[in-house]
Every structure is written in C-alpha cells, then in structure tokens.
Amino acid sequence: MKNKFMAVFICAVFFVVCFSGKQKVSTLQKEAISVSAVSAVLVCADSGEVLFEKNSGEKRAIASITKIMTAVIALEYAEKDDKIITFTDEMTAEGSSLYLKKGDKLTITELVKGMMCVSGNDAANAVAVGIAGSKEKFAELMNQKAQQLEMNGSHFVTPSGLDDEQHYSTAGDMAKLCRYAMGNKKFAEIVSKRELTVSYVFPEGKTQVCRNHNRLLSEYDGCIGIKTGFTTKAGRTLTSCAERNGVRLIAVTLCAPDDWNDHKKLFDYGFSITERFDLRNILEPLELPVVGGTADSVRICPKEECPVTVFTDRDNEITYKIFMPHFCYAPIKKGTVTGEAHFYRNNKKIASVSLTAAESNDLLE
C-alpha cells in the first residue's frame, strides 16, 4: 500500500479534550422573563436546545401557523413539479383570503407566497386539493411529515388551520416544524419578505401585491420570519425567527394576547444569553505521520469554520473526538481530507468538521 493514501478512517488516533465555556451565575427562567402566552417556547435554531419554555408540551389549537406545514409540503412538491393549479369552488374558504376566483390559475409556489404572506385560506385549500386531490388526503401528508419530524403532540386536519377538534399541536412541536421549514431556502426567502408580488398564469399578466401580516419583520431588528395566526378558539398564535451575530433563534407562542411583545421579550432574552463560537478554537494542534515523504508529518487543520451557539448563563462543557488513520503515505497534497472532528455537548453531538492537510508533503526521491 506504499505511496497510497489510506482512504478509510481508522479510529486509532483518538483524542478527547474538554472545553469549559463561559460560566456565569445561573439565571432562573421565571425571574428572567414572563409572557402573556398560555404556551410558549424559545429554541436555538441550529441545535434545537430550549432556552425558555412555558407549557410547551400542551396541545392547543394553532390557527394559521398550520400553513407552515402546508407550505413546507407544497414547496418540497414544487421542487419536482411546480404545477399550475386551477382554482375551483371546492377550494373556497372562509376567513383570511387571497381572494381567488373560479378559473384562476397559479403555480404552487405563487400560491405559497399568498398563503404565507396574507394567510390566504383559499390558497392553502388550492395547494391541498391541487397536490393531493382533496383536503383530507393532504391532511394525511401533513401527519406523515409531522411523524417524520417527531411532532408527537400534533395532529392535522385542515391545510389552513381553521378550527377542528382534532386539529392541534404544541409550542414545542411547532418549534421543531419551524426549524425544519427555515432550512428550506425557498420557504425562508418567502417568509422573510415584508411584501411579495403574486403572479397569475391566468388571467394572463395579473399580479397581486401582498403585504406580510408579520409585524416583527419591521419592528424587531434581525427578524427573518415566519407566520401569524388567529381564530376565536386558538386566540393569537405566532411563530417567528430572528438572527443576530450568527445566532438564530425561534420563538413560538400559542394563545398569546400580547404576542408581538412576547416575542420581542423572548428574543431579547435569548440574544442576551447566547453567542456564536467557532469550535475550531478548542482544537489542539494536530500532526499526521507521513511515510516516505519529505517531512515526517503533515499539519492537520479544520477544512472550514465550525460555528455553534453557546450559552452564557450555563456551563458549556464541549468535548471533541478526532477520527484519523495512524499515518498516511506520501505524497499528500494541501487540502486533502484526512479525517473528521466531532464535537459534543452533554454527550450529544452538536457539530462536525472535516480535517485537511494544511500543507503538501511530497514523495521523497
């Protein structure tokens, strides 16, 4: 095997190093913040760690934040087939509306814009019937996706979120859905806009300007989405996402009479106890022995940045494990992937990064 680089990682070189992050006096949640919501949760978007919660596992009506699930399914379908949907009588709906008329034709993506921006119930129904054939069949897709995302306290019946006894979720489950949804670039782009133009296929050339109902997009610095909701039964429901200095947080409130201020409080609290940290900073210098090269070893470094959110109000004991072969054979070029570093917090993997040769090591003549 001389002069060949070992392609398979051998976990023989194995380091475990502990890193103690900032340790400050712990702050009790009940003293740190209070919200009007019956149920609420604030989570770190990259890890899902909970920063604040109040009745986050309680099943409740969720109103139009349901459309997050509808939009996710629709956009994933549209990636393969952004089909044109013709509006029919069975797609009509009460409540908030895009004011579609029988015979109107729009693509799935344009319907999602109207659904997420002005909370069009008619657009949600059009997506559901257009994709699955009926609202009932589409609800099956919604529940399948909920199962995939481990939303164990949720059950969906309608694509729009209009009240139904069997239609419910929890603040914690909706945070899981929001994390997943914001990972979809098209979804994230749509919900971040204060104003969108919906374009029709028919009537040809028709466009409709929609102004986003989410006031936080203009009222809170760093807000990048995502969805409002209201019914008499559910009360005011709101999901939002905000980002500052690389830290991205997601807040969910259910039955919250003062939801705008609730979310501002939650984000202010969250950003006050979090900061972005590059995990490369805790790695010790690494050397990989080289056989037959102009040098006995080669320096190894992370391929790219490896950022993670750390919490300034709690212990951050981070450990890492290095996976590399015992040695490699020359020649080895700068940038060659030689292994991986896995990072853990409280024994849970939080990130990984490829390790590469920081320099070349030529074959000894």
Q: Report the catalytic residues.
A: 64, 67, 119
3-class secondary structure per residue, 194-211: CEEEEECCECCCCEEEEE
Q: Using an 8 Å Cβ cutoff, are 157 and 167 in contact?
A: yes
Q: Using an 8 Å Cβ cutoff, are 163 and 233 in contact?
A: yes
Q: Which residues contact 323 (CB under 8 A, 6 or more apart)?
A: 9, 11, 13, 14, 339, 340, 341, 342
Q: No. of H helices and E strands in the chain?
A: 9, 18
State whether the Cα torsion 159-160-165-168 is positive or negative. Answer: positive
Q: How many residues does the chain have?
A: 365
Ordered DSSP codes for 281-327:
GGPPPEEEEEESBSSSEEEEEESS--EEEEETTS--EEEEEEEB-S-
Ordered DSSP codes for 24-55:
-----HHHH---S-SEEEEEETTT--EEEEES
Q: Which residues contact 158 (CB under 8 A, 6 or more apart)?
A: 66, 135, 139, 164, 167
Pairing relationship of beta strands 235-244 and 247-254 according to DSSP bridges: antiparallel
Binning the chain into helix, strand and coil, the percentages to the nearest 5 are 25, 35, 40
* CA pair distance 245, 242, nearest whole angstrom: 10
> Which amino acid is residue 149, in one-letter code?
L
Strand-pairing partners, residue 242, are 223, 249
Strand-pairing partners, residue 85, are 106
> Which amino acid is residue 43, in one-letter code?
V
> Which amino acid is residue 357, in one-letter code?
A
